[in-house]
């Protein structure tokens, strides 16, 4: 930016974005140009279309300082979701903080799988979401199933606060409640639908994940132990206890985990019904039930 030596030199938005894109590209960010535009929109209070349409806008000194700070954060590989404070999931806007994982597009596979299972969209299923984080999975389902009710569970009090805030902003707090619990330790009753996106990154894989994840997202929500399966081992008995007799469980899995997670679920008395693929053709969600249900 042109703020060196404390002196401001007038600069157009287009020139600023060109320089920012080069900075972000050099930092290893593939979406450098898009990220620069989104950050500019935030700094200027514009929408993305205005940023594209007004490259000749002359930045004020204050705008320049704000943009420089935002670009610096992204250059350090801080996730866009945390910088902007929100992310879109299932066409809904979710607030995110460093206390929760940013919702991923791959996780929409779980929402799609549940909706495919629920034939009557006017039915009244009960849902429990283990490891709810931002609440994105539960709230996306409640948005689609207008008579459903659910509870989101997380061991993190900070995550529960984020999820409660998202429920309020989406006007779903009347049908969603959230509670702190270590899996189902504080949960009562059984549910028609049990959903979960548990931590599944093996310790050896942390060296290979993107800096945005490794440096900035909560390790508690990422680490699945030495082999990536610790949370599935803890979750599987909870699924068995909390599934209604004709209920269904939908569990997100990591790459190449379909067989091993299916074995863990089977050892807990669950029967795998199908494995759902994401848009890239990877096994992403296991659907399971009790016995012949």
Q: Please tell me what DSSP assigns to residue 103.
A: P
pLDDT at 1 over 60: no
pLDDT digits (tens, 9 = 90+) for 241-290: 999 999 999 999 988 889 999 999 999 999 999 999 998 899 999 999 99
Residues 235, 135, 272: CA angle, nearest 5 degrees: 35
Among 93-102, 111-120, 214-223, the minimum mean pLDDT is found in 214-223
Phi first, then psi: give them for residue 124, nearest 5 degrees.
-125, 55
Q: Indicate the fold that domain 86-290 takes in CATH.
A: Rossmann fold (3.40.50)
**CATH 1.10.8.10 spans which residues of the chain?**
4-76
What tokens were used for 120? 């009557």
pLDDT of residue 230: 82
Helices (H), the chain: 13-26, 32-44, 48-53, 61-75, 80-84, 108-117, 136-144, 157-169, 211-216, 230-242, 258-267
Domain boundaries 4-76, corresponding CATH code: 1.10.8.10
pLDDT of residue 228: 67
pLDDT digits (tens, 9 = 90+) for 207-254: 666 776 666 666 666 556 567 688 899 999 999 999 999 999 999 998
**CATH 3.40.50.150 spans which residues of the chain?**
86-290
- pTM comes to 0.86
Average pLDDT estimate for 151-168: 96
| Residue 62: how many other CB atoms lie within 10 Å | 10
Top pLDDT among 222 and 128 is at: 128
Top pLDDT among 115 and 210 is at: 115
pLDDT of residue 151: 97
Q: Alpha-carbon distance 243 to 194, whole Å?
A: 7
Yes or no: say if 248 and 191 are a contact pair by the CB < 8 Å rule.
Answer: no
């Amino acid at each position: 930016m042109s703020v060196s030596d404390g002196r401001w030199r007038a600069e157009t938005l287009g020139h600023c974005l060109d320089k920012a894109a080069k900075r972000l590209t050099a930092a290893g960010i593939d979406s450098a140009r898009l990220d620069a535009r989104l950050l500019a929109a935030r700094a200027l209070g514009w929408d993305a279309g205005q940023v594209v349409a007004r490259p000749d806008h002359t930045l004020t000194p204050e705008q320049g300082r704000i943009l420089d700070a935002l670009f610096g954060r992204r250059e350090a590989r801080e996730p866009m979701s945390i910088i902007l404070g929100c992310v879109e999931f299932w066409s809904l806007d979710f607030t995110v903080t460093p206390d929760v994982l940013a919702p991923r597009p791959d996780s929409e596979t779980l929402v799609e799988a549940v909706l495919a299972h629920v034939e009557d969209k006017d039915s009244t299923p009960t849902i429990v979401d283990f490891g709810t984080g931002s609440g994105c999975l539960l709230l996306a389902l409640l948005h689609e199933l207008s008579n459903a009710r659910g509870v989101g569970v997380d061991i993190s009090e900070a995550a529960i606060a984020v999820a409660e805030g998202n429920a309020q902003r989406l006007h779903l707090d009347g049908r969603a409640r959230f509670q702190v619990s270590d899996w189902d330790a504080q949960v009562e009753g059984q549910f028609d639908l049990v959903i979960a996106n548990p931590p599944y990154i093996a310790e050896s894989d942390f060296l290979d994940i993107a800096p945005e994840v490794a440096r900035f997202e909560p390790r508690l929500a990422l680490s699945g132990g030495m082999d990536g399966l610790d949370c599935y081992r803890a979750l599987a008995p909870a699924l068995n206890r909390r599934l209604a007799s004709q209920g269904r469980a939908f569990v997100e899995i990591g790459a190449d985990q379909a067989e091993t997670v299916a074995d863990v679920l089977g050892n807990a008395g669950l029967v795998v019904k199908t494995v759902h693929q994401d848009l890239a053709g990877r096994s992403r969600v296991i659907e399971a039930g009790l016995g012949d249900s």
